[in-house]
Amino acid sequence: MTRYIIRRLLQAIPLLFIISLVLFILMQNMGDPLATMGGRRVTRREDRLRLARQLGLDKPVLLQYVFWLAGNDWTKIDMDGDGIAETPGVRKGILRGDWGLSLVNRKPVTEVIAERLPNTLLLMLTAEVVVLVSALLIGIYSALHQYSLVDNVVTGATFIFYSMPVFFFALLSMYIFAVNFKKWGLPYLPTVGMFEPEAGQTVSQVIWHMVLPVATLSFGFIAGYSRYIRSTMLEAMGQDYIRTARAKGLPRRQIVYLHALKNAALPIVTIIALDLPFLLGGAIVTERIFGWPGMGRLFLDHVSRSDTPVVMGILMMIAVAVIIFQILADITYAWLDPRIRYK
């Protein structure tokens, strides 16, 4: 297993280089970062030329990629009412852990991401726990009561929720549980931010503000996961080893949760391993609608301003997470099924 993990990590190195190059070229052709650096003022032509030269934006794309990767001399720029202040320095490049400075606010990329990442992890991990617990309960129950009234109702509801757009569910939940509940004099749910300014960022405030975003993030995944779990559980319950376990008189709970679920979980592990890395990127639509200060909102704001260092930092973080979680999924496979061996 150790040799397998080392081999997978070594294979990931050229893959990450290819991914970073493709993403960098795409980012360089998405917009003009200098167009918004002057704020509300129109950037003068001479200032624009100086900024392009100082930021290395006047260089060919491949040379900019090399600078981003391996580092180069740079100039710290501070635009204010008196003009442009410059401070020379050296950027080490991402190969040595230096992700550069944001073109929007001239702050280190790692600092910009670190400000938002905890908020996203709080929201997304909570939603993932809700999704897994709910989907397992619904999927297992539906599989054990196939074609019952509850199974038919759950099947119809999951198809409706799975086909419902995220933004529609978000706006509908805001209209019902915020607008109408307030109109009816009932305790209503907040719709913007993480806490009320007058109350401060307390645990109760954050939990109360998470209800609608978590529900919006969860509903579609619960529908999809529960159908998948139901399908794999039905397949597992029809296998010969389950009949043998029943014939031996094993308790039903042991048959379902120890034998059937453990084997049915193998395909589910793949889906979860593919979804988990994207938790780091946040939920763009949900965070935008509910004003949640997370990575999804950060990504959207900086993409719109062509802030290549920040966007590349977010995307490369997700790419690395995908590779790591796929390796963890392979390890989980071997743990769940002893027949699987890696060389």
pLDDT of residue 114: 92
Q: Each residue of 125-173: pLDDT tens digit? A: 899 899 999 999 999 999 988 889 999 999 898 888 888 888 899 999 9
User: Could you tell me if 74 and 142 lie in one domain?
Assistant: no
Pull the structure tokens for residue 21.
């190059």
Residue 16 counted as domain residue = no
pLDDT of residue 172: 92
Residue 132 counted as domain residue = yes
User: Could you tell me if 155 and 245 lie in one domain?
Assistant: yes
| Percent of the residues in the chain that have a pLDDT greater than 90, as a whole number | 18
User: Could you tell me if 177 and 89 lie in one domain?
Assistant: no
User: Could you tell me if 197 and 277 lie in one domain?
Assistant: yes
User: Could you tell me if 123 and 81 lie in one domain?
Assistant: no
Range of the domain at 245: 111-336
Cβ 122 vs Cβ 206: under 8 Å: yes
How many domains does one find in the chain? Answer: 2
Q: How far apart are CA 74 and CA 100, in angstroms?
A: 10
Cβ 225 vs Cβ 139: under 8 Å: yes
Please state, as a whole number, how many other Cβ atoms lie within 10 Å of the Cβ of residue 340. 13
Q: Each residue of 45-73: pLDDT tens digit? A: 777 777 777 777 777 888 888 888 887 65
Q: Is the dihedral of CA 14, 18, 19, 21 positive or negative?
A: positive
User: Could you tell me if 51 and 163 lie in one domain?
Assistant: no
pLDDT of residue 176: 93
> Does 175 score more than 90 pLDDT?
yes
User: Could you tell me if 244 and 136 lie in one domain?
Assistant: yes
> Does 261 score more than 50 pLDDT?
yes
| pLDDT classification of 81: cutoffs 50, 70, 90 | very low
Q: How far apart are CA 142 and CA 164, in angstroms?
A: 21
Q: How far apart are CA 69 and CA 85, in angstroms?
A: 26
Residue showing tokens 């301003």: 305
pLDDT of residue 177: 93
Q: In this structure, what CATH number is given to the domain that contains residue 277? A: 1.10.3720.10
39 or 131, which is more confident?
131
Q: Each residue of 285-337: pLDDT tens digit? A: 888 889 898 898 888 888 888 888 899 999 998 888 888 888 888 888 777 76
Q: Rg of the Cα trace of the chain?
A: 25
- Of 50, 68, 102, the last residue of a domain is 102
What is the DSSP secondary-structure string of 268-322? Answer: HHHHHHHHGGGGTT--HHHHHHHT--SHHHHHHHHHHTT-HHHHHHHHHHHHHHH
The total number of residues written for the chain in this structure = 343
Q: Is the dihedral of CA 228, 234, 237, 239 positive or negative?
A: negative
- Of 72, 102, 132, the last residue of a domain is 102
Please choose, from the candidates 284, 271, 269, 268, the residue with its C-alpha nearest in 3D space to the C-alpha of residue 124.
Answer: 284
User: Could you tell me if 209 and 226 lie in one domain?
Assistant: yes
pTM metric for this prediction: 0.81
Please choose, from the candidates 77, 148, 75, 138, the residue with its C-alpha nearest in 3D space to the C-alpha of residue 106.
Answer: 77
| pLDDT classification of 207: cutoffs 50, 70, 90 | very high
User: Could you tell me if 226 and 319 lie in one domain?
Assistant: yes
User: Could you tell me if 98 and 144 lie in one domain?
Assistant: no
Residue 32 counted as domain residue = no
Average pLDDT, the chain: 82
User: Could you tell me if 98 and 117 lie in one domain?
Assistant: no
Helix (H/G/I), strand (E/B), else coil: 99: coil
